[in-house]
Amino acid sequence: MFAKDAGVTPGLVEAAVLPRTTEEVATCVRIARKHGLPIVPRGAGTGLAGGAVPTEPGLLVVLTRLNEIHDVDEVARTAWVGPGLINLDLSKRLIERGLHFAPDPSSQSASTIGGNFGTNAGGPHCLADGTTVAHILAAEFVTPDGDIVMMGGEAPDTPGLDLRSIVVGSEGTLGIATKILVRLMQNPPDVATLLLGFPSIEDAATTVSQIIASGLIPAALEMMDQPMVQAVENFVHAGYPTDAVAVLLAEITGTPETVLDGTNAIEQVARRNNANTVRVATDPVERALLWRGRKSAFGAVAQKAPDYYLHDTVVPRTELVGVLTKIYEIADEYGLDMLNVFHAGDGNLHPLVAFDSKESGKLETVMTAAKEMVRVSVEAGGSLSGEHGIGLEKRDLMGLVFSEEDLDAQARIRDAFDPDGVMNPGKVLPTGSRCFDAAGVRIPT
């Protein structure tokens, strides 16, 4: 059960341990080092980039039992939590205190805080609030030598190098977080969720750009194309307009006055761009149903095929239409069934290819097409990942974005933490990333 994550690539597991304390994690690391075993940290296994998949036999350190909320400071709006705590469980247990944890990936009902930490996860409501790194203040960290250290701190501006921002998003290649100090947000006094349907992708994308250009930053701004809307509606029955070529789900939070003004502004922009559905959720039940539809998107794909594959590139908002057009063309060229759902507000795309891995050669075709989709995104000024991480799936595409010098700088940071390369080997950085030796001399290639 630990040989793969939610992606498509299986790995090799020599042994798996499920520690309950920081000290047990440190002991496991020291034992693995003594026996020359590589170490791979793992959370709930919801990752989509192969980040928790061992590339060689080693020790899998599964952190799901470190799932406590150790302390909540309502005045400072912080909480110390275990990496195995389910993302959504944290916000649920804080409802009566009027607080929540802002990062909300679609997998938040299953993914762990530690997994979010490892990939710098995003989510629909990260448009205004920022991704996971903006909500992590500190972490108790087990180093590759089995030492227990603190990265960051409770003070607003901890002296010294900001190692916290280096380890967040490091995908288990620098060590293992065993306790995490998260920043909490106050629940807004009012909220409005809008469902907008459009006759074209262009109209929906233009609406997104004009909303942001107006100076209004919604709490969330999500887009789905017609194939995805139809799959989601058949799966959840949220009341999405299945005749719309594109649907936007927008949310405004704040004071009642702010929410009313923002709602009116979004409605006006949408109508100017030919919206044929403009609907505002009338109560919390309807609002929750609309969001259930969006967050069930990946599950809804099972109606199309038993497997799916996707990347999570990011492109400038002004390039959304052009990049999506090319992505549709790539899918057509390879004869693939594709659905799109993405964080439109920050240009984070999720082209999702539905397929049957039992069909001979299909996975290879899917992965070839997916790489072309990534290249199209990068050529438009985009990046490889907005929230899923690099892991194994996008490791060999790093050269599309980073120069030899860039990759070497990242490899040097990794070496500073883990000179023996035992932590999650084979992930993030492609082979040959070190192009200079310790003396600064270029290594021949």
Q: pTM of the entire structure?
A: 0.93
What CA–CA distance (Å, rounded) separates 390 from 133? 16
Neighbours of 264 (CB within 10 A): 12
Residues 6+ apart with CB under 8 A from 257: none
Q: How much is the pLDDT for 441?
A: 53
Write the DSSP symbol of residue 167.
Answer: H
Same fold, 15-62 and 190-298: no
| Residue type at 123 in one-letter notation | G
Q: How much is the pLDDT for 88?
A: 97
Q: How much is the pLDDT for 159?
A: 82
Q: For the chain, what are the domain ranges?
A: 15-62, 69-186, 190-298, 304-396
What CA–CA distance (Å, rounded) separates 445 from 49? 28
Give the pLDDT means over successive 10-residue stretches in the chain (445 positions).
86 93 98 96 94 93 98 97 98 96 94 97 92 97 97 85 94 98 97 98 95 95 96 94 97 97 97 97 95 92 91 92 95 96 92 94 95 96 93 94 95 96 95 70 58
Nearest to 176 by CA among 310, 83, 255, 242: 83
Nearest to 198 by CA among 153, 243, 151, 134: 243
Neighbours of 280 (CB within 10 A): 16
Neighbours of 258 (CB within 10 A): 16
Tell me the CA distances in angstroms from 341 to 108, 246, 293, 296, one per residue in order: 17, 10, 11, 11
Which phi and psi angles does 81 have, rounded to 5°? Answer: -135, 160
Q: Is the dihedral of CA 225, 228, 230, 236 positive or negative?
A: negative
Q: How much is the pLDDT for 442?
A: 60
Give all strands (DSSP E) within 242-389, no chain letters.
Answer: 246-254, 277-280, 307-310, 337-342, 351-355
Tell me the CA distances in angstroms from 434 to 154, 411, 414, 431, one per residue in order: 35, 6, 10, 8
Q: How much is the pLDDT for 416?
A: 96
Q: How much is the pLDDT for 161?
A: 87
| Residue type at 393 in one-letter notation | E
SS3 call for 353: strand
Write the DSSP symbol of residue 280.
Answer: E
What CA–CA distance (Å, rounded) separates 113 from 101? 10
CB 226 within 8 A of CB 246: yes
The two structure tokens encoding residue 28: 């496991």
What CATH number labels 69-186? 3.30.465.10
CB 356 within 8 A of CB 16: no
Please give the CATH topology (third level) of the domain spanning 190-298. Answer: Alpha-Beta Plaits (3.30.70)
The two structure tokens encoding residue 53: 């998949």
Please give the CATH topology (third level) of the domain spanning 15-62. Answer: 3.30.43
Q: How much is the pLDDT for 353?
A: 95
Please give the CATH topology (third level) of the domain spanning 304-396. Answer: Alpha-Beta Plaits (3.30.70)
